[in-house]
Amino acid sequence: MKVRVDVMLKQGVLDPQGEAVKSALGALGFTGVEGVRQGKVIELELAEGATEADVKAMCEKLLANTVIESYAIHM
Amino acid sequence: MKVRVDVMLKQGVLDPQGEAVKSALGALGFTGVEGVRQGKVIELELAEGATEADVKAMCEKLLANTVIESYAIHM
């Protein structure tokens, strides 16, 4: 089974990658870009029977730094 | 308006980050992880009126390296 986990920096945490993308888009002539946040997407291929609790444990222990990042699980 | 762009390495392109996550999950005792692919998610806050064509141009010019990466736009 395929599971997708999105990991984003929490609101209020400075996102230098996103800021760099925003300024690069501006330099390339794209107007109207008001904000950019960049995060990670992790696609897991799991054996059948894996539960959302398993994936949550993976996020808490490895995939996300929960001090500064939030995650969303899509099963 | 908010637009999400997912950027993933194409099938067949080696994904060392994903492999590292997979082996780390195994080392932490998570069994049944058959594959991991890691990509980027970019959340754009655009002025009203931006079209999918605009976002596609951003992807082609900056957000994705289309030689090795594919992207998906979610408006």
The CATH code of the domain that includes B15 is: 3.30.1280.10
How many C-beta neighbours within 10 Å does residue A55 have? 22
**Residues of chain B neighbouring A27 (CB-CB closer than 8 A):** none
Q: How many domains does chain A have?
A: 1
Interchain CB distance below 8 Å, A24 and B49: no
Interchain CB distance below 8 Å, B62 and A38: no
Query: Can you read off the two tokens belonging to residue A9?
Result: 């920096």
**Residues of chain A neighbouring B28 (CB-CB closer than 8 A):** 58, 61-62
What ipTM is given for this predicted complex? Answer: 0.89
**Residues of chain B neighbouring A40 (CB-CB closer than 8 A):** 38-41
Spatial CB neighbours of B59, under 8 Å, sequence gap ≥ 6: B5, B7, B66, B71, B73
A and B: number of Cβ contacts within 8 A: 96
Query: pLDDT tens for residues B57-74?
Result: 999 999 999 999 999 999
Distance from CA of B27 to the nearest CA of A (A): 11
Domain that holds residue A38: 2-74
For residue B7, the model assigns a pLDDT of 97
Query: Can you read off the two tokens belonging to residue B55?
Result: 């976002």
Query: pLDDT tens for residues B1-55?
Result: 999 999 999 999 999 999 999 999 999 999 999 999 999 999 999 999 999 999 9
Residue found under tokens 């754009």: B44
